[in-house]
Each structure stands twice: as structure tokens, then as C-alpha cells.
Structure 1
Amino acid sequence: MSLRIVRAGPEDAFIVAALSLQFAIAVDGSREDGYLDRAAEHWLRHREQLPTWIAELAGSHAGYLQATLPPESTWPGQPIGTRGRLWIHALYVAADQRRRGVGAALLGACESWTKGAGVGVIRLRCDLGAEEFYDAVGYAPAAEVRQKRLRPPSP
């Protein structure tokens, strides 16, 4: 079985949307009528700030990684044209494709790409149960990430 990682292009918008929906369902069961169209359109509009890679294994889409690339930033000691941090906000591997190197390959593709993008640090939030995986691929614990869930705005 050959694993292939590709950087998502405009023609992959619905694949990105479908993998995003699979991820949401796996995380908390979230579903929404019309989500695929809405998600594909959003990703197409913002894809330069949302670098995304798709994993293909044995003829199926095995997972994806999506990051957020902030605009160029200024910080003492940071050269002009650099972006500082890249945030990985989605790393999903389908349950039946896990433990086959898919997650590590997606991270590797992202890391290779960052070398030419002026990124100095990759950050992500490690969900409970994934610590061993992230340790194995070289992601060290950093300052604790905190979050506050807000109610969605009223329609």
C-alpha cells in the first residue's frame, strides 16, 4: 500500500470539506445541512492562509492536516518576511487508517513546506490520548493552551 501526501489545491475543495466533516463527526458528532458547500467555499476563499495536505492511502482519502498561517509579523530578532508561528488546527486520520504512518507523513509534509514559508515554530493543541504520538514525532509540550467556549451569536 502506497501512502501519498498532496498539498490541497482548488480542485480539492470538496475533499477538504468532506475530511473536515469526518473530523467534526469523530470529535463531537457535529453535523450541518449544507456544510460541504459552505466549507468548500470558505476554504477556497481563504486557502492561502489555510495550508492543507491530504493523505491518500490504498485509493482512499485517509486523512488531512490543515493549518493557519498568520500574516507576516514583527518580533524582536525575527527577520522581515517571516511569519513566526504556524498553528495546526486539524490533524485527522480516519479510524481505519491509523497506525500506518499517515499522521506522521502529514506532519512531515507540513514541516517540509514551512522551511520555505518563513515559519519558525509549529504549534498545535494535543488532545488527550495523542501525547505519545506527538512525543514520537518530536513535538514537545509547551505552555498550556487554555480555551473558553463561547455561545454562538444569535441569528
Structure 2
Amino acid sequence: MRIVRAGADDAFGLAALSLQFALSLGGPGEPGYLDRAADHWLRHRHQLPAWFAERDGAHAGYLQAVLLPETAWPGQPPGSRGRLWVQAMYVAPDHRRHGVGRSLLAACEHWAAGEGVGVIRLRCEPGAVQFYDAAGYAPATEVREKRLRPLR
């Protein structure tokens, strides 16, 4: 297995993995999604660090995060990044239970530590609690979520 930090040439691969993830959750397909997703990631890739896993010659999964902009806060040294949110992590069914998810998280954590990130946060679905507990992620009770309806 090999973990690779995604670069510009990987935009369509990330888009394809993102679509696989959405479909696995019961999401709809969307004509033109791959182009739209690849273009979006290319335009924002400096704020959306991503990694993908290669295993047995295939893309086995990906992790995409959101690097929050630096903010000034008492006690936070200038230049520190503060927080990184794991926006999405997906491992293809044929590659699960082979260390792919653990390796993706480790690559993200290593990069984040080198960038001065102090905290990584993520939303943990009920089926992934054991995985994230084993990876050292503790529940953070201060995180809340509200889903909004579009104003159309």
C-alpha cells in the first residue's frame, strides 16, 4: 500500500473516490459531477489537503480535510494553523480491514503536525466509533450540527 498526498494531476481520481463515497451513502449520481468536483478541488486545493491510498494497483480510498484559516487568538502563536477538519474519509469495500483508513489518518496527522495544526476534528458516524477510538480520537462534546435548507 502507498499513501500519496494529492496533487493537481489527482483531481479526477479524488472526484471519482468522492462520488463512490457519496453513492455508498445512498446519494444520487449527478451528470458532470466529476468535472465539477475536480475543478472545485483544483481551485481550493491549498485549503483542502487530500491523500489517497493505492493498494493492489487500485485507488483504495481517500481522505480530504479542510484547513481552517489562521485566526488571531490569545495564547495562539502567530503562524499556527489551529484546526484541521477531516471532511471525508472513504475506503473502498474491497480494501477495508487492510490498514488503509489508519494509514490515511496517519499521513494526514503527520502533515498537519508539520503545518502547525494543533487539533484535528472530524464527524464520526456511529459505525466508525471503534475505528476512531482506536486511532486516538476522543469524543468532543462541544461540536454541534444544524442542517440548513437552501433559501430557494
- Name the TM-score, length of structure 2 as normaliser: 0.96
Q: Distance between the aligned counterparts of 2:2 and 2:111, measured in 1?
A: 15
Residue 115 (structure 2) aligns with: 117
Q: Which residues of 2 match residues 81-120 of structure 1 at below 5 A?
A: 81-120=79-118
Partner of 1:142: 140
Give the direction of change, closer, same or farther, for the CA distance of 1:144–1:30 in structure 2 (3 Å limit): farther
Secondary structure at 1:129's aligned position in 2? Answer: helix
The SS at the match of 1:24 is helix
Read off the aligned partner of 1:58 and give its amino acid letter. Answer: D
Contact 1:13 1:43 in 2 (8 A): yes
- 8 A Cα contact 1:18 1:36, kept in partner: yes
Shift of 1:27: 1.6
Of 143-152 and 93-102, the range deviating more from structure 2: 143-152
Aligned-pair distance for 1:76? 1.5
Structure 2 gap segments, 5+ residues each: none
> 2:99 is aligned with what amino acid?
G
Partners of 1:80 and 1:133 in 2: how far apart?
A: 34
Say what the alpha-carbon RMSD is for the aligned residues.
1.1
* CA contact 1:10–1:44 (8 Å) conserved in 2: yes
- Aligned counterparts of 2:70 and 2:148: Cα–Cα separation in 1: 28
Aligned residues: 152
% identity of equivalent residues: 69
Tell me the distance in 1 between the aligned counterparts of 2:102 and 2:3: 11
Contact 1:67 1:86 in 2 (8 A): yes
- Larger displacement relative to structure 2 (28-37 or 127-136): 28-37
The runs of at least 4 consecutive aligned structure 1 residues that moved more than 3 Å come to none
Within 5 Å, which residues of 2 pair with 1:3-152? 3-152=1-150
Residues 28 and 146 of structure 1, relative CA distance in 2, 3 Å threshold: farther
In structure 1, the gaps of 5 or more residues are none
Alpha-carbon distance in structure 1 between the residues aligned to 2:78 and 2:71 = 8
Distance 2:47 2:151 in 1: 24
Q: CA deviation at 1:148?
A: 2.2
> Is contact 1:73-1:81 (8 Å) kept?
no
Shift of 1:153: 4.2
Instruction: Please state how far the C-alpha of 1:70 moved relative to its aligned partner.
Output: 1.1
- What do residues 93-120 of structure 1 show as CA deviations (whole Å, max 9, x unaligned)? 0111100000000000001101221100
Deviations 1:19-39 (A, max 9, x none): 110111112322111000000
